């Protein structure tokens, strides 16, 4: 990957947005503090901005009070990844890292994202949508009876909130009698729930940086799936960097990630999660527009394999804020 020289003098005062009020607040604080420490270590004028409200007016006033020239968005979860804070930053006429409001909103909404992926020719697991307003837990239903136009699907089922991250509220269910409980748990985090076909296979992820795909990483977890604990607790997951794949399969995975990134209209960086089944078919699961920047995070691992250390990665992401049209 060819990275141009970076003129850090143009950045001015940088505000690292972190925290938020979502279920991913703790992870966002970890990402934000890691970025802030890196920027300061490199001699940049940077300040942490811990967002503690999702009120647009209050958040705008709070951000404005710091007098920053550019925002480094490390705000995971709702308000940070769903386009809301991006809209606020545009209203303040501040440069910021990452994707714009529309791309962020589409990626965060897993139902919307899956339609966009399919329209772009990508394969995704079968799905069924449950809405809180019409969900009756006393009425028996069988996931997978409704189809995607391709196939019906039986258990196991992946049940998750339509808009959430870090696998929060996600369950894998093997028995019909456990479905309602899992749906109720997911509805605690969103008004819509996605019931997906469970695809057994190898978990892969591909980061996009400066509009180019990085190497494929394979995630090998001791848990059944890459859940919240497996993501953020040391020792529960192994990462194979790069994944041990033949060139053709690795190329398809990297191509799928870039297609998804472009189809959503993402900018600067993203990270696509996918499953490679036993027949070599790739299923695109979701795209993260603000990948984690913690010690166990995947984008920094992939960047590191490309010879880009964490400090350089932060500068590249900042530089992208000045390359938006």
| Residue given tokens 């804020």 in the structure block | 321
Catalytic residue (choose from 19, 96, 98, 232): 232
Measure the CA–CA gap between 270 and 80, rounded to whole angstroms: 14
CB count within 10 Å of CB 253 equals 25
> In the annotation, is 166 catalytic?
yes
Annotated catalytic residue 136: no
Q: Which of 95, 105, 254, 271 is catalytic?
A: 271
Question: Which member of 22, 163, 164, 166 is catalytic?
Answer: 166
Question: 106, 286, 297, 320: which one is catalytic?
Answer: 286
Active site residue 288: yes
211 is catalytic: no
232 is an active site residue: yes
| Measured distance CA(303)–CA(173) in Å, rounded | 35
Q: In what order do the strands lie in the sheet with 14-19?
A: 46-51, 14-19, 70-73, 95-96
Q: Residue 28 catalytic?
A: no
- The catalytic residue among 270, 288, 297, 320 is 288
Pairwise CA distance, residues 110 & 120, whole Å? 15
**Separation between Cα atoms, residue 188 and residue 283, nearest integer Å:** 27
**Alpha-carbon gap, residue 285 to 148, rounded angstroms:** 15
**CA 80 centroid distance within chain:** 11
233 flagged as catalytic = no
Nearest alpha-carbon partner for 35 in 19, 53, 56: 19
Specify whether 95 is catalytic: no
What is the distance between the alpha carbons of residues 37 and 196, in angstroms, rounded to a whole number? 39
Residue tagged active-site, from 20, 24, 81, 196? 24
Instruction: Choose the catalytic residue: 81, 197, 218, 273.
Output: 273
Catalytic annotation, residues: 24, 166, 232, 271, 273, 286, 288, 292
């Amino acid at each position: 990957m060819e990275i141009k020289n970076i003129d850090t003098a143009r950045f001015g005062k940088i505000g690292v947005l972190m925290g938020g009020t979502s279920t991913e607040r703790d992870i966002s604080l970890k990402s934000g503090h890691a970025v802030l420490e890196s920027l300061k270590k490199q001699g940049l004028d940077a300040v942490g901005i811990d967002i503690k409200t999702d009120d647009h007016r209050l958040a705008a006033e709070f951000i404005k009070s710091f007098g920053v020239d550019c925002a480094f968005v490390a705000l995971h979860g709702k308000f940070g990844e769903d386009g809301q804070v991006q809209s606020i930053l545009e209203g303040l006429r501040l440069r910021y890292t990452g994707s714009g409001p529309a791309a962020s909103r589409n990626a965060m909404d897993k139902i919307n994202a899956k339609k966009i992926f399919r329209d772009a020719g990508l394969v995704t697991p079968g799905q069924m949508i449950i809405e809180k307003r019409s969900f009756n837990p006393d009425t028996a239903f069988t996931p997978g009876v409704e189809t995607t136009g391709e196939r019906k699907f039986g258990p196991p089922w992946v049940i998750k909130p339509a808009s959430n991250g870090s696998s929060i509220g996600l369950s894998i269910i093997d028995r019909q009698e456990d479905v309602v409980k899992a749906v109720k748990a997911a509805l605690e985090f969103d008004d819509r729930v996605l019931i997906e076909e469970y695809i057994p296979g190898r978990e892969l992820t591909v980061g996009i940086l400066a509009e180019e795909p990085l190497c494929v990483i394979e995630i090998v977890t001791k848990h059944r799936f890459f859940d919240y604990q497996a993501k953020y607790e040391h020792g529960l997951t192994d990462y194979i960097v790069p994944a041990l794949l033949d060139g053709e399969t690795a190329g398809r995975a990297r191509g799928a990630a870039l297609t998804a990134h472009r189809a959503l209209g993402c900018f600067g960086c993203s990270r696509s999660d996918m499953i490679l089944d036993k027949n070599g078919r790739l299923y695109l699961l979701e795209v993260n527009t603000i990948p984690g920047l913690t010690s166990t995070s995947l984008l920094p691992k992939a960047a590191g394999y490309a010879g880009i250390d964490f400090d350089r990665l932060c500068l590249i992401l900042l530089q992208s804020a000045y390359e938006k049209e």
